[in-house]
Structure 1
Amino acid sequence: MTVKTGRTDKTVLITGASSGIGEATARRLAASGHRVVLGARRTDRIAAIAKEIQAGGGTAGHHELDVTSLESMGSFVQAAHETYGRVDVLVNNAGVMPLSMLEALRVDEWNRMIDVNIRGVLHGIAAVLPLMRAQRAGHIVNIASVSGLRVDPTAAVYSATKFAVRAISEGLRQESRDLRVTVVSPGMTRSELADGITDTDVRAAVGGLMDIAIPAAAIGEAINYAVSQPLDVDVNEIVIRPTAQG
Structure 2
Amino acid sequence: PYYIVHSSRTVDIVKQTRDLFVVTFRGTRFVVSLSPFDPRFVARPDDRQRFTVVRREYAAFELLPEEQPCATWISGDIEATFGCERMPPEIGTVLVPDVLAGLRLPGEVRLYDCLFTDHHRWVEPSPSDEPAPGVEVEASNLTEPLVAVLTVLGALYDLLWTLMPELQSGACYCVVRTDGVLHKEEMVKALAKIRVLLEPPKTARGIAAKRELEAATRELEALVASWDGEGAPPSAMVAWASRFLESCLVDADP
Larger radius of gyration: 2
More helix by share: 1
TM-score (norm: length of structure 1): 0.27
